[in-house]
Amino acid sequence: MHEMALAASMLEIVEGTAHRIGAARVNAVWLEIGALSHVEPDALRFCFDAVTRGSLAERARLEIVVTPGTAWCMPCGTTVALPALGAPCPQCGTYQLTVSTGESMRVMEIEVAS
């Protein structure tokens, strides 16, 4: 599953930052994962735990903040909440929607020990 590739990319980002600032260990990683993004948080935890073994982020705590999905509704002419892909506009029931937020997957910050 692709969460392994995502976890590997996360480790690269985290290690890169830690090395740049001379940190010896990463204790925690904060992620912002959109509700509409292509990742299963539990699978990501599993893969992150596996991929960080032997690295300076070994056993780092993974904090995942899920950000809500929103979409522009053409008929309503406004941004509405979108709980999942394929859900209708909560106001008017249309599917004429363009996703605005909720698809991103970002490493936000890390807690390091020197």
Asked if 22 is part of the footprint of other proteins (rule: CB under 8 A), the reply reads no
Asked if 91 is part of the footprint of other proteins (rule: CB under 8 A), the reply reads no
Asked if 92 is part of the footprint of other proteins (rule: CB under 8 A), the reply reads no
Asked if 81 is part of the footprint of other proteins (rule: CB under 8 A), the reply reads no
Three-class secondary structure of residue 60 per DSSP = coil
- Residue 90's alpha-carbon distances to 4, 5, 79, 96, in angstroms, are 34, 34, 11, 12
**Contact status, residue 57 vs residue 14, Cβ threshold 8 Å:** yes
**Contact status, residue 9 vs residue 51, Cβ threshold 8 Å:** no
**Residue from 68, 78, 83, 85 in contact with other proteins (CB under 8 A):** 85
**Residue 63 CB, nearest distance to other proteins (Å)?**
10
**Residue 19 CB, nearest distance to other proteins (Å)?**
12
Give 20's DSSP letter.
H
Considering beta carbons, is residue 31 or 80 the nearer one to other proteins? 31
Q: Which residue has the tokens 């690295």?
A: 55
Closest CA to 67 of 30, 102, 95: 102
**Which positions lie near other proteins, rule CB under 8 A?**
1-6, 8-14, 17, 21, 23, 25, 27-28, 31, 38-39, 42-43, 45-47, 49-51, 53-54, 59-62, 84-86, 88, 95-99, 104-114
